[in-house]
Amino acid sequence: MMPGILRKSISCAVALITLSAFFYTISTASSANRQQEDHMKNSYKQQVVDLLKSMETGAPEPAMIINPEKYIQHNLAVADGLAGFSAVLKQLPQGSAKVNTVRVFQDGNYVVTHTDYDFFGPKVGFDIFRFENGMIVEHWDNLQKKPETANPSGRTMLDNITPIIDIDKTESNKILVQTFVKDILVNGQMEKLAGYFDGDNYIQHNPHIADGLSGLGVALEAMTKQGITMKYERIHMVLGEGNFVLVVSEGSFAGKHTSFYDLFRVENGKIAEHWDTMETIPVRSEWKNNNGKF
């Protein structure tokens, strides 16, 4: 028979080995889950980029990611369902379309793209795709005619490619940007404006506005003199990944019902950069689907 102290030592060793194996299993499973989530993110992003590119290439395979039984379309110029998407492609003269997606990010089941388009004329667009059970089931977008010249600071609506970082700050950045849009653009609390920025360090890609808060001030003053009003009435969607946050809003510009898509880059808790598109929402009688813009 083994001495008592030896039996206790062996029991402790067995317990430690069992415990270590348990935690190793949990750690391995968690790591595998993280890898699977990362792969799914990259997969969803690439599938969306490939789908948009198929407008240029004519490749049929990327469209297989669209659920043929359920595809809710919010582009009001396109009929609902997969048939509506296919009809648009058929309208394009062969080889005429150009598609270059310059940035893409993902928030849960939503993938957001920022794309340089040329179909029926040069355009800049944001697209949002929602996935369900691994397939695309819903689409929103906002398109604006691409200007021929740069803005007063020499910037375009798409330039300055920066990486997605600060993934751990995604939620706090979304809250920051949503609060900014609500305070400043919806409620007009301009006394809070400076608190959202690092002095005058603000990169602006709107085609009519120069960099910095000073550039924004000049543009707003010019709009007022011309009698042009811009009003954000409500926020419909806030999507983000890391330092990038997109806000989808509804309002009016120059008296016309308008959809605003504003993309912000956050740096050290302050808004550092902005891209946007504005699109006039057509009257209901011109809609090709009944899903609404938002």
For position 4, what pLDDT does the model report?
52
pLDDT at 217 over 50: yes
CATH architecture under which domain 167-286 falls = Roll (3.10)
Taking phi over 0 as left and psi of -120 to 50 as alpha, with beta for the rest, 74 belongs to alpha
d(CA 254, CA 231): 9
**How far is 102 from 157, CA to CA, in rounded Å?**
11
Out of 53-62, 124-133, 138-147, 235-244, least confident range: 53-62
Does an H or E element contain 67, and which? none
pLDDT at 41: 56
> How does the average pLDDT of the chain come out, rounded?
89
260, β-bridge pairs: 249, 278
| pTM confidence score | 0.86
> What is the pLDDT, as a whole number, of residue 294?
98
pLDDT over 60 (residue 245) = yes
Alpha carbon distance 293, 140 (integer Å) = 7
Is-contact 182 235, C-beta < 8 A? yes
Q: What is the pLDDT of residue 32?
A: 45
pLDDT tens-digit profile of 17-58? 443 444 444 344 445 444 444 445 569 999 999 999 999 999
Q: Is beta strand 203-204 parallel, antiparallel or unpaired with respect to 270-280?
A: parallel
Q: Mean of the pLDDT values across residues 96-122?
A: 97
Q: Residue 75: what pLDDT?
A: 98
Instruction: Tell me the average pLDDT across 98-103.
Output: 98
CA atoms within 13 A of residue 130's CA, in its CB half-sphere: 14
* Predicted pLDDT at 3: 52
Question: What is the predicted pLDDT for the residue at 23?
Answer: 40
Higher pLDDT: 6 or 115? It is 115
Q: Does pLDDT of 10 surpass 70?
A: no
Please determine, for residue 210, whether its predicted confidence score (pLDDT) is greater than 90. yes
Determine the pLDDT at residue 1.
44
By mean pLDDT, which of 165-179, 190-204, 219-233, 264-278 is the weakest? 219-233
Q: Under CATH, which number does the domain 40-145 receive? A: 3.10.450.50
pLDDT for the residue 34: 47
Phi/psi at 261 (5° precision): -115, 115
* Alpha carbon distance 219, 209 (integer Å): 6
Mean pLDDT of all residues in 154-158: 98
In the chain, CATH 3.10.450.50 covers 40-145, 167-286
Least confident of 33-37, 71-75, 80-84, 86-90: 33-37
pLDDT(84) > 80: yes
